[in-house]
Structure 1
Amino acid sequence: MIDLKNLDDLARKLSDLVPPGLKDARADLEQNFKSTLQAGLGKLDLVTREEFEVQRAVLLRTREKLDAMERALTVLEAKLAEPGASKN
């Protein structure tokens, strides 16, 4: 979910960039900036930091399991390649 405080801060910073002649419309512009930012960010396929960290942990565990399986396969292949290994 998008942090609304950060969105408010960004809209406020954008409204601060408004030329002095348009300062009367500053509040309206700030609200428009905020609405536009919310709409644009809402269309993006974003995940929360928590969801990202969960998926990162899953990927790390999967990599660890894959590495262990690759090591076990290497050991098995070495045993099969030894002279005198039984062949079925």
Structure 2
Amino acid sequence: MLDPKKLEEIARQIADSVPPGVKNMAEEAEGKIKQVLQAQLSKLDLVTREEFDIQTQVLIRTREKLEAMESRIAALEAQQADK
């Protein structure tokens, strides 16, 4: 397998050999692409990972409570049936 440090060195050498004008164009293009992506993503109805994780935990607790209530109701119904 290739040494990661060697790969970084090769990448740095390649980046250093690129003419400054091309670097500037690439940086500008990258910046514009990021702007467009951020604008388009902000239009979508998305939640953050943190919000998703919180709602997942809420759902887990809700399911646990529901299962406990179902068990309790079943026991009460069984108790009523025995009377």
Percent identity of equivalent pairs: 52
The count of corresponding residues between Structure 1 and Structure 2 is 61
CA-CA distance at 1:28 after TM superposition:
3.5
Q: Residue 45 of structure 2 aligns to a residue in which SS?
A: coil
Match of 1:10 in 2: none
Larger proportion of helix = 2
Q: Separation in 1 of the partners of 2:49 and 2:31?
A: 26
CA-CA distance at 1:73 after TM superposition:
0.5
Match of 1:32 in 2: 32
* Structure 2: runs of 5 or more not aligned: 1-21
Amino acid at match of 1:69: M
Q: Please list the CA deviations of residues 16-68 of structure 1 after superposition, one character each: whole Å capped at 9, or x if unmatched.
A: xxxxxxx5843433222111101111111122211111111111111000000
Note the 1:36-55 alignment, pairs <5 A.
36-55=36-55
Amino acid at match of 1:81: A
Q: Separation in 1 of the partners of 2:34 and 2:67?
A: 47
Which structure would you say has the larger RCO, counting Cα contacts within 8 Å and 6 or more residues apart? 1
Amino acid at match of 1:26: A
2:58 is the alignment partner of 1:58: yes
Q: Using structure 1 for the length normalisation, give the TM-score.
A: 0.60
CA RMSD of aligned residues (A): 1.6
Match of 2:3 in 1: none
